[in-house]
Amino acid sequence: MYGSLLASCGYDRKVIIWQQISGRWGKVFEYCEHASSVNCVCWAPHSYGLMLACGSSDGTISILVSDETQSWRAFRISDAHSVGVNSVSWAPSIDAEFIFNPSLVTTTTNNSLHHPIKRFVSGGCDSLIKIWREDVSSGNPEWVEETRLDGHTDWVRDVAWCPSLNISRQLIASCGQDGRLIIWQSANNDNEIRMMNTSTANNPNSNEIESKDFPSTTQYSTFWRPTILYTYSDVVWNVSWSVTGNILAVSGGDNKVVQSIFILDFVVYHSIGSTM
């Protein structure tokens, strides 16, 4: 939800924005431009304004934006994922330059402060995870693929960007048809990347897997280290972080819910319970 607004999507190819007024729900906006089912919707952080990301089986992602006049505009990412998009999740609302380069201080350009760069992550039926960034350099907002992460062997069912405001470490959780639960951790500089590679190379029993970054369009060196937290015997459908970003809930086809508690880089608690 976004305030009193609720977004829904479905197999009817529609995205509907609802608003509760005086205890009754009514349609505010209906988007019908997708050619196949809309599988996921996700509100952007409040500081970005009224903005909604939508992923569809037609392979595209739509970004719906409402301005001060309460009119809606749609920005489309064509061919985001071949066969279909299953999940989208927004990055936390902090200056993205600090996410990947914490040593920076806020600077001014043309006498204006840097604005947070909008990013979100998506997962699809092509077994890939992609990170998208809004590019406003041309004056017109455009969404560009920034990073491509390859760690699943089957459909990616869900992705979740950790909401923690820890600028020295960003985490993305992903799960899929292959039963894998993967945690992706960002590296901020060449030294960290070197340490990650050395750690993996020196540990033959490591659960870490090779990540293949798509040539980055950002000026910063961004690397995401994937670690398989667990491999289940059945499909893993959903992952969800707590508000504080230290608890991850996981649900899968084995009819169980898993909770993992993170302190720094360590999983300190792991519980499994049946939902039925």
CB distance 123 to 87 below 8 Å: yes
Q: CA–CA separation, 56 vs 62, rounded Å?
A: 8
Cα dihedral 234, 235, 238, 242 in deg (nearest 10)? 40
CATH number for the 80-274 domain, one of 1.20.20.10, 3.30.365.10, 2.130.10.10, 3.20.20.70? 2.130.10.10
pTM, entire model: 0.82
- Show pLDDT as tens, one digit a residue, over the chain (276 residues): 788 899 999 999 999 999 998 889 999 999 999 999 999 999 999 989 999 999 999 999 999 999 878 899 999 999 999 999 999 999 998 754 555 554 444 444 444 455 678 999 999 999 999 999 999 888 888 999 999 999 999 999 999 999 976 656 799 999 999 999 999 999 764 454 444 444 444 444 445 554 444 333 344 346 899 999 999 999 999 999 999 888 899 999 988 887 776 755 666 666 666 655
Q: Which amino acid appears at position 109 of this protein? A: T
